[in-house]
Chains A and B, each alone.
Chain A
């Protein structure tokens, strides 16, 4: 019955059905009430690989730094955790539609994103892009990428700086394994992803990646990894901000980072010191 109705709507014209549909997401406002009411926090997580998020084959469950944070936040709010796997091309849509309450999905702060979404002001990590390139490529810095093909994931926040600042020719693939395979196949000279993920990959699978390195001295647009939520949800924002601050202060985040083998924990250590001191 429902399906038939949907189909009938589509016949009348996608445009009409659409404007009616999007309207429904507009009054999914008091997210915090809904989280409490349903007794569950729905978090969009990304499975871009260790250390942030991946599937464990034995338990077929998701694991990683992002998952640990999601679990801790749900505990803090006193509700159970539900996760939804998102990908870079669909994560903003899922949040906007209300399919997930928040995103902990390797999404760094950018001004563009802040225009359409709100975020939890206290970051849970700081990271930027690292470029994996062939050792014999002779590429030394970001500016060497001008006019060269560079692989990223679709929806990556490295796309814009790569194009606008460094003049690279960006090729966006559905996800990270495809992008890295494309690099090995020679379809791009560099693959740019979140530094910690590719760093750990090069370390763990040194043999497979012996011809490759991460040679650039700086990270691309190092920025704060923040939790994203829908525009105007102040109460949720405040509650989560307090929760993240607590996680920093009692050293939980640092603990998660070490357990998941994040390579660079300088930022987390600083934040831990600052916040535990102020307590």
Chain B
């Protein structure tokens, strides 16, 4: 009861300055919109670890020196970096998905949802960018350090695990945080394949009501807030991991 009166006051106040949030007081549109925020946050929370893990795997393949590992990954990295993510998403969802359906013997057996495809396409796209950053980081590790480790009897894997990766991760952290900010922004392409994130939810509302401005302000503030948090966390991790004297 009290809840709805606060809401109504808010709607009336906003109406006075020319913003239309009437839909908040009505049925399914308000639910769609609220779920839109939750879906966007959920997508981001899922995509950050997915992109980091896949990026690490890609980086390991790229620097492995084995062509059967590095060539396919390089090919994927080039395609994903040089074609629009929106088109990749449409292609995956409409074409690859149909292909998968045929493979598993009919659409009814296909467990892949639009949500899955957004996570896959955006996650792997950002992973490719992470991998490029990490590769640069690994290549920037002074060869004297690698040689010192080898001299101490470290195996190739141990060098990667204990020497190259920790240093490379620190060196590539600013680029990785930048990629994560892009990741947050990229989640909006999901609206093209009906993943009910916040822009999709907003389109559903504004096509019936013509209140683009009111919704847009909230969306811009929302994304700025998320990205400020991501950037702050990045700085915090950077400080936490700083190696004194190494200049990173």
A–B touching in complex (CB under 8 Å): yes
Select A15's contact among B95, B97, B217, beta carbons within 8 Å. Answer: B217
Interface stretch, picked from B104-112, B145-153, B163-171, B176-184, is B104-112
Q: Is the CB of B213 within 8 A of A182?
A: no
**Is B210 on the interface with A (CB-CB < 8 A)?**
yes
- Mark each residue of chain A from 153 to 165: 1 if its CB lies under 8 Å from any CB of chain B, else 0: 0110001100110
**Is A229 on the interface with B (CB-CB < 8 A)?**
no
Name which residue of chain B comes closest to A13, CB basis: B217
Instruction: Compute how far the CA of A181 lies from the CA of B192 in the bound complex, rounded to whole angstroms.
Output: 13
Instruction: Compute how far the CA of A260 lies from the CA of B214 in the bound complex, rounded to whole angstroms.
Output: 41
Residues of B with C-beta under 8 A to A134? 107
Interface stretch, picked from A32-40, A168-176, A192-200, A241-249, is A168-176
**Minimum CB–CB distance for B247 against chain A, Å:** 37
Residues of B with C-beta under 8 A to A14? 213, 216-217, 220
**Minimum CB–CB distance for A161 against chain B, Å:** 11
Could you tell me the dominant secondary structure of chain A's interface residues? helix
> A71-127: which residues lie under 8 A (CB-CB) from chain B?
88-89, 92-93, 96, 112-113, 116
Interface stretch, picked from A51-59, A183-191, A267-275, is A183-191
**Is B71 on the interface with A (CB-CB < 8 A)?**
no
Residues of A with C-beta under 8 A to B155? none
Instruction: Compute how far the CA of A151 lies from the CA of B106 in the bound complex, rounded to whole angstroms.
Output: 18
Residues of A with C-beta under 8 A to B217? 14-15
**Is A178 on the interface with B (CB-CB < 8 A)?**
yes
**Minimum CB–CB distance for A134 against chain B, Å:** 7
Q: Is the CB of B213 within 8 A of A92?
A: no
Per the CB 8 Å criterion, the residue count for chain B at the interface is: 35
> B166-215: which residues lie under 8 A (CB-CB) from chain A?
192-194, 200, 203-204, 206-210, 212-213
Instruction: Compute how far the CA of A155 lies from the CA of B191 in the bound complex, rounded to whole angstroms.
Output: 13
**Minimum CB–CB distance for A61 against chain B, Å:** 26
**Minimum CB–CB distance for A175 against chain B, Å:** 10
Q: Is the CB of B204 within 8 A of A187?
A: no
**Is A19 on the interface with B (CB-CB < 8 A)?**
yes
What are some 6 contacts across the A-B interface (CB < 8 A)? A14-B213, A178-B192, A182-B194, A185-B100, A186-B101, A186-B106
Task: Using A14-B217, A88-B207, A185-B94 as known contacts, list a sample of 9 further A-B pairs with CB atoms less than 8 Å apart, ordered by residue number in A.
Answer: A134-B107, A155-B208, A172-B194, A172-B203, A173-B193, A178-B94, A178-B193, A187-B113, A187-B114
